[in-house]
Structure 1
Amino acid sequence: MCLGVTAGAYILTLFAIKYPKRVTGLILVSPLCKTSSWKEWLSNKVISNLLYMCGMCGLVKEVLIMRYFSKEVRTSTDALESDIIRSCRRLLGERHGSNVHRFLGAINRRWDITQGLKKLPCRSLIFVGEHSPFHNEALHMISKLDRRFCALVEVQACGSVVTEEQPDAMLVPLEYFLLSYGFFCRPSRFSVSPRGPLSPTSISPKLFSPESMGLKLKPIKTRIQKEV
């Protein structure tokens, strides 16, 4: 059972395509699946040049933070959300610029794995933030996966790193995804189809409301692929 975010999600999906018998399920956050767009390619090149000339400077950190977090979090005065940005900036400062340079180069050279998605046999649950620059990639990915085995959860007012910005939005979808594998003990009144990661017949729309998952949770919208 694999969980990956952005580039990590790409690597795990590629692993599942190459070794399908070793992966039973994928939980992907703002995944990548196509080659880098010209805009992303150019952005990575600019960041790489800055890293080469200035190292992990403040400008590089801010550009990376803009890529992974929404404007709401970056400009918020809330103490908790500010801690997220401060922690991210501190962690980026601890990274060696040369390693980040290699990482960006590898991301720019990734290849399209769309064709492999069509044959992916395991269940997949995809989370993506509404304001993530990889939002379109997630939509493209969900359109290519077998609709019987995948579900998409779009989190509003959120960037790429849903796990940090709005982890509460992941709780209910994750619970039902894992429930389909028998990881939770539930009363028999819950009927979860073994053919899909989230059973439309067993999930009440009310469960996805902000009130059911905490007052501070911003609205989320889900796209559950209907079985044919």
Structure 2
Amino acid sequence: MMFFLFRLGAVMCMGVTAGAYILTLFAIKYRHRVVGLILISPLCKAPSWTEWLYNKVMLNVLYYYGMCGVVKELLLKRYFSKEVRGSAQVPESDIVQACRRLLDERQSSNVLKFLEAINGRPDITEGLRKLQCRSLLFVGDNSPFHSEALHMTSKLDRRYSALVEVQSCGSMVTEEQPHAMLIPMEYFLMGYGLYRPSTVSLSPRSPLSPSCIAPELLSPESMGLKLKPIKTRIS
């Protein structure tokens, strides 16, 4: 592990989907080594039968045909919302095109091993109660892992965790709407003294200070924050 190779002490971790699962598992096992988790579309349960079947289809196609168009489309659908994947009338976004090119460069055997591993993951829900670090979760409301993020948030200590739901976004919030992550991450990092605007005071017990967040960003329906769609002007 890099933690031991580079003699790192306590760290703050950030991961997406399967990466978020691995980091959460690490934080459960080595609680003294993780001071914070930033998780994007995290996983914590074993695959549902629909996800298991979805992965099995990709595994079989990969085995017989390699990284073909069908596999790429299924992977893109898992990670990106329909808006950025495009349609007959709307071209797909630059980030999806870049991801498609990266998939062309990946060896089928490596992708196959990844899917086998993620399809056999155990449920770590019970271990979430052992987490002692602050956790900030992001998920797009169009992500196939949206319900998983809600489930995970319900099991975490609400004093030390917050959920940010980003509307009109898929699993890859970091790529589709990275600007939606800025304000929540600022408030999250303030709790560690890593970001200190002079006009803001924080509760040391909470990863996000509700008193410092604009009321329109708060939603009683979610277990943390719910961001409205963010639109940018194109000149």
Asked if Structure 1 and Structure 2 have the same fold, meaning a TM-score greater than 0.5 normalized by the shorter chain, the answer is yes
Aligned residues: 213
| Structure 1 counterpart SS, 2:130 | coil
Aligned partner of 1:12 in structure 2 is: 23
Alignment identity in percent? 67
Which residue type is aligned with residue 196 of structure 1? S
Aligned partner of 1:138 in structure 2 is: 149
Q: CA RMSD in A?
A: 1.8
CA offset digits 1:20-43 (Å, max 9, x no partner): 000000000000000000000011
Aligned partner of 1:47 in structure 2 is: 58
| 8 A Cα contact 1:131 1:156, kept in partner | yes
Aligned partner of 1:224 in structure 2 is: none
| 8 A Cα contact 2:41 2:140, kept in partner | yes
CA offset digits 1:95-142 (Å, max 9, x no partner): 100000000000011001111101110000000000100000000000
- Is 1:89 the counterpart of 2:100? The answer is yes
- Is 1:200 the counterpart of 2:210? The answer is yes
Q: TM-score with structure 2 length normalisation?
A: 0.86
Aligned partner of 2:222 in structure 1 is: none
CA distance in 2, matches of 1:35, 1:173: 28
Q: 2:171 aligns with which of 136, 157, 160?
A: 160
- Report the CA distance between 1:205 and its aligned residue: 2.4
Aligned partner of 1:220 in structure 2 is: none
CA distance in 1, matches of 2:22, 2:128: 13
| 8 A Cα contact 1:210 1:216, kept in partner | no
- Using a 3 Å threshold, how does the CA distance of structure 1 residues 44 and 207 change in structure 2: closer, same or farther? closer
CA distance in 2, matches of 1:210, 1:117: 28
Alignment of structure 1 residues 10-89 onto 2, 5 Å: 10-75=21-86, 82-89=93-100
CA distance in 1, matches of 2:193, 2:80: 33
Query: 201-210 or 86-95: which moved more?
Result: 201-210
Which residue type is aligned with residue 40 of structure 2? V
Q: 2:182 aligns with which of 155, 171, 181?
A: 171
Where do 5+ consecutive residues of structure 2 fail to align?
A: 1-11, 219-226
- Is 1:149 the counterpart of 2:154? The answer is no
- Using a 3 Å threshold, how does the CA distance of structure 1 residues 114 and 23 change in structure 2: closer, same or farther? same
Q: TM-score with structure 1 length normalisation?
A: 0.89
CA offset digits 1:58-108 (Å, max 9, x no partner): 1110110011000111116777x6211110000011110000000000001
| 8 A Cα contact 2:166 2:228, kept in partner | no
| 8 A Cα contact 1:172 1:207, kept in partner | no
